[in-house]
Structure 1
Amino acid sequence: MRRPPPPHRSSADRRRGLTRLRAVLAGGLVFGVGAAVTLAAWTDQEHASSSFTAGTFSIVGAADGVTFSDHPTAPGATLTFLVAPTALAPGSTVYALYSVKTAATSVPGNIQLTADAANNAGLGAYLTYGVTRIAGTTCSAATFGGGTVAVATGSALTTGAAGSVALSGAGASVVNYCFAVTLPVGAPNAAQGTTLTGHWIITGTT
């Protein structure tokens, strides 16, 4: 027995069928993409962090090479001369120590010796001086002569050191300055009875 022919489908029916087919295929494509994204979403991370704190820089000084403390403003520590510089005569030289290091909690840095411009007042107009860096804390004619020159002998009291000196952190190294102050042989009569309070500055930088 012959089957009856399929019912005739109009053009509109055929278009609706194609639309449903495209929708099913499109849905399949969307599903496939979604599955791929899910698989690629497996991730892992490592994180690192650190806290930072700035250090501090501070220098301390001692006129005896032992008792270090902070002298941030003038007049600061008093230099202790082996011979008291209270009755200088032409041709005499007096010596004094000053030691510098970083404070116990300080970072490393550098120091430079400078002199006050007012050091040429009164007796300062006639005096000359020199500074050397010595190995120990005994500042005398012998140790001064064997030290490393910071200020040349015979300089005016307004002259500072030409360069800086490195200091280790946490007080690990000490710079011992030996001052030699002279009233030259040719000092005139006008120098008699004059006085001076000399002032030097040691500036630390890092």
Structure 2
Amino acid sequence: MLAAGVVLGVGAASTLAAWNDSEFTQADFTAGRFGIVGATNGATFSEHATAATAAALSFQLPATTAAMAPGNTVYALFSVKTLNPSVAGTVQLTADGANGAGLGAHLRYSVRTIPGTTCNATPQTGETVIVPAGSTLTTGATLTQTLTANGASQVNYCFAVTLPTATPNAAQGLGLTARWTFTAMSS
């Protein structure tokens, strides 16, 4: 009987064994790109990634003057879009704190996004004011703009800079290199 118990014990142990099998998976991941490019004419885009390689805005002075005088307003276009390829994102205009030095202490400006690339005093249907008229040059935008993926569409900014009519004589001969940054973030 003892021998039969040992045989039953071994038999019971062998019936507890189970077969097994495994499945394995893997996946390859590649990070997308995000970047923006800009154009001063709304058509010829390139990267201006540092202050040293900043795009020069093309403000047109009145034909009768070689420099700004009280009452003058000048306009310049700057357009931004994503690279191709690039994911979508948002962009926001910020102003350099040093823009308030020299002539910048007297200048005022506004920025609006416009549907086309004609930047002048004429209001356009569909425009959005992102920096109100009369703002100091150190004022940035409070709104962000949407950038579509793969450079599918662009955001056109119209800058208007004014030397107010009440500008004092002390402003004569002053200068300023104003700087703005378009900070973009992927979405």
* TM-score, normalised with respect to structure 2: 0.88
Cα distance in 2 between the residues matched to 1:194 and 1:145: 36
Superposed displacement of residue 194, structure 1: 1.6
Superposed displacement of residue 143, structure 1: 4.1
SS, match of residue 110 in structure 1: strand
Please give the residue correspondences for 1:1-206 in structure 2 after superposition, counting only pairs within 5 Å. 21-34=1-14, 36-37=15-16, 40-41=18-19, 43-75=20-52, 76-83=54-61, 86-143=66-123, 147-206=127-186
> Match of 1:79, as an amino acid?
L
Superposed displacement of residue 163, structure 1: 2.4
Superposed displacement of residue 81, structure 1: 2.0
Structure 2 unaligned runs (5+)?
A: none
Contact 1:132–1:144 (8 Å) recurs in 2: no
Identity rate, percent: 52
> Match of 2:26, as an amino acid?
S
Q: Which is higher, the Rg of structure 1 or of structure 2?
A: 1
Per-residue CA shift, 1:9-49, capped at 9, x if unaligned?
xxxxxxxxxxxx31233213422541x345x42x4444332
SS, match of residue 118 in structure 1: helix
**Compared CA separation, residues 181 and 144, structure 1 to 2 (3 A):** farther
Contact 2:98–2:138 (8 Å) recurs in 1: yes
Contact 1:96–1:178 (8 Å) recurs in 2: yes
Per-residue CA shift, 1:118-155, capped at 9, x if unaligned?
11122111110000000011111114696201100000
Cα distance in 2 between the residues matched to 1:116 and 1:28: 88
SS, match of residue 49 in structure 2: coil
Cα distance in 1 between the residues matched to 2:86 and 2:124: 29
Cα distance in 1 between the residues matched to 2:165 and 2:145: 33
> Match of 1:59, as an amino acid?
I
Q: Which 4+ runs in 1 deviate beyond 6 A? A: none
Contact 2:91–2:144 (8 Å) recurs in 1: yes
Superposed displacement of residue 89, structure 1: 1.6
**Compared CA separation, residues 199 and 179, structure 1 to 2 (3 A):** same
> Match of 1:81, as an amino acid?
F
Cα distance in 2 between the residues matched to 1:203 and 1:72: 10
> Match of 1:107, as an amino acid?
V
Structure 1 unaligned runs (5+)?
A: 1-20
The structure with the largest helix share of the pair is: 1
* TM-score, normalised with respect to structure 1: 0.81
**Compared CA separation, residues 148 and 118, structure 1 to 2 (3 A):** same
